[in-house]
Structure formats: structure tokens, C-alpha cells
Structure 1
């Protein structure tokens, strides 16, 4: 399949190249383990070698590309053990953040999450995967941002990025996306109550379907 979002010479910098490659990785057009050479990027985007190299640095910082001496860059792939370890940390972080959210949550937070939730659902039904991905991440970072600990939220965001190969595996599953969307609705409802433990457990349970699908595929 031809990668999406290519434009003509002179219209790219390292950030736009990184964004195009990020989209190809997230939506499965570049499979885990695929090599990304500077020469390939030069041919595709018609930019200088500096921009191609910096785009790979940006992708490495995002956690979706691995660069190794004498081997170049490859799309990050995860072993079953790595998936289990990353998700164990995600569960700890997200459970703790949910436990620290003051309940019942302010009306402003509920309204903001409802707006993101509506956008997320529209993108699912339209099949606009970039929109689904971005609305999903925005929903979770807004939700967990209410815990009041910026360092915890930054750690959650880091592990969201590290798990992108796992999460990408679920993007083509519309039924799975609808289930995730329903989980989001339930999270909003729980924010109106007072039981942080139930909210925290849902936030952990919400992680399991994409992890299970990925592990079933690679084991």
C-alpha cells in the first residue's frame, strides 16, 4: 500500500516527515521491524539528509522507532514479554491516577470529556483513524490530568507511546473501537459519582482488549 500524505518537494520538515511516518506505523502501513533508511526517506519526501535524520530522531523520541549503531532505524516491535511488562506499568500508572481524581469531578471536566467522546465516536463511524487515535489520546490525557500530578500524567503519556505497536493492532477493529468508546462513556459516568476504585478498575480493564489481541497475534 502506498504510504499516505506525501507532498511535493520543499513542503516537508522533520516534524511533518515524522508525522507522516507515525501515521504509517500507527495504522499498520509500516509493520513492526520494518527498516527505515535515510535514503528511502530522501526518495519519498525529497528533502535533505538532515531533515530525514532528524525525523528518525523525533520518531525515536516518541518511542515508535528504534535506532541502533550499524543497524540504522527500524519500526519498534515488541516481544510478548515486553508487552506484558509495558502493560503492567500502564496498569499501575493509570490505576493510581484514577484513584487520585477528586470525585465527583467538576462539571467543566465532564463537559470537556463529553465533547472529546462525541468527536471520538464520530471518527469511529467515519473510519477516520487519525481522528480516532488523536481523540482517544486526548480523552485519556484529559481524564488522567485531573489527578493533579503532572509527573504521573507525563509517565502515562510515555507508556502510551511505548505501547503504540500494540494499540495500532486494534485500529482496524471497528467493533473493538466501539467497545473502547463505550468504556469512555462509562468513565465519564463514574466521574459523576464517588467511587474511585470502580473507576480505577475500569481504567485497567480498558487496557486489556488491545493487549490480548496483540499477544494472540504474536504468540
Structure 2
């Protein structure tokens, strides 16, 4: 008689597969449009089919892969037009959120964001890409929730998830990671002084870098 694994062991199994595939996508080891073959992953990891499919579900939920008829699961990619359209929406939403920071932020918010940015910096410099990914998302969600319009924050979160494969493509670039670190701390300085226009300018530049990197890496041969 086969004894079922405890739920905690099942959870660890799919989570381990998810985190490894996430790391490979973020690090560029799995490229846009590359197919994730279920049987190969089962053989390589020793995980159950259920665990691999659960990992695929989570990767799809955060926007790193897509399922296509007759093609299975693939690392997500975008056309040039789709990239430009997504980032136009992001810029509109995030500029609007920035306009809410026209008064000095509370010390509690500044301290919270500083803590996240500091941990993000440490993870980036140690090339712990999964933590960079997670902490970057947390930083921006905390910032935009603090703008006060929760529907706006939800919309920003939605489009942030939609652009995950674009943003993470730049993670292996040390130069871009260092720029992002500096921009996070510059955002904190701006909200500390209640400089909404300055914050908007920083955010505009912040979201532009990964977009440009993705377009060059994906569509311009030999650019990187």
C-alpha cells in the first residue's frame, strides 16, 4: 500500500521546483519562448508530476510562463508592440501614484522602505536573484499602497506582474542592478521631502531601463 506524503512534503516538492525554474528564468538560463518539458523536469528533479504541474501553475500566476495549445508551457515573451503598450500603461499608472506623494512621508513608511531597499541591495550584490525579484516587488507594492488609492495600487500590481519576464531579463546585469538600487534610495529621499515631481521622474527612468534592456537582448542581434 502506497503511503501518501504529508502535505508539508508535497508543498516543499512543488515549491522547490518552482523556485529552481524561477531562478533559471530570471538568470536567463531559460530564454523567452523556450519550452518547459514536463517529463524532462520530472527526470531531472525527481519531483512528482503533480509537483511539476503545480510549479507551472505558480510560474504562470506570476507571469513568467504561458500555456499555449499544442505547445505546452513556454517562457513568456512579448512583441515589441506589446512591450511598448505595457510600459505606456505602467508609466501612466505609476506617474499618477507618484503625484500622491506631495507631502513628506511618515517616518514609519520611510523606515519600512529603507529596510526593504537595504535587503534588496544585499541580495542583488550577492546575486540572489529570487530574493531580488521578491524584494523589488515588495518595495514597489509598499510604496504604491502608501499613495492611498488601493484600486490604483492594484492596477499597478497587475501590470507589474504582466511585465515580470521583461524586468527579470535585466537581473543578471550588474550595472542595471546597481542603477536600480540607487533609484530605490532616491525614491525614498523624494518621498521623505514630499517631492512628487522628483519621484515621478525617478520612477519613469527606473521602469525604462529594464524595458530597453529586454528589447535589445531579445530583438537586436549581438547587442548584448
TM-score scaled by structure 1?
0.87
Which residue of structure 2 lines up, in the alignment, with residue 86 of structure 1?
Answer: 86
Counterpart Cα distance in 2 of 1:125 and 1:108: 26
CA 1:157–1:44 in structure 2 vs 1: closer, same or farther (change >3 Å)?
farther
Which residue of structure 1 lines up, in the alignment, with residue 49 of structure 2?
Answer: 49
Contact 1:94–1:156 (CA<8 Å) still a contact in 2? yes
Map 1:131-170 to 2 at 5 A: 131-170=131-170
Task: Compute the displacement of 1:189 (Å).
Answer: 0.9
Q: Which runs of 4+ in 1 moved over 4 A?
A: 9-12
Contact 1:32–1:76 (CA<8 Å) still a contact in 2? yes
Task: Compute the displacement of 1:207 (Å).
Answer: 0.8
Counterpart Cα distance in 2 of 1:10 and 1:100: 44
Which sections of structure 1, spanning at least 5 residues, go unmatched? 1-8
Which residue of structure 1 lines up, in the alignment, with residue 179 of structure 2?
Answer: 179
Q: How many residues align?
A: 211
Contact 1:10–1:46 (CA<8 Å) still a contact in 2? no
Secondary structure, aligned partner of 1:67 = strand
CA 1:193–1:23 in structure 2 vs 1: closer, same or farther (change >3 Å)?
same
RMSD: 2.0
Cα deviations across residues 14-46 of structure 1 (Å, max 9, x unaligned)?
333222211211111211111112212221232
Cα deviations across residues 95-118 of structure 1 (Å, max 9, x unaligned)?
111122462110000011111122
Counterpart Cα distance in 2 of 1:74 and 1:191: 39
TM-score scaled by structure 2?
0.85
Map 1:178-197 to 2 at 5 A: 178-197=178-197
Counterpart Cα distance in 2 of 1:128 and 1:60: 21
Task: Compute the displacement of 1:139 (Å).
Answer: 1.3
CA 1:107–1:202 in structure 2 vs 1: closer, same or farther (change >3 Å)?
same
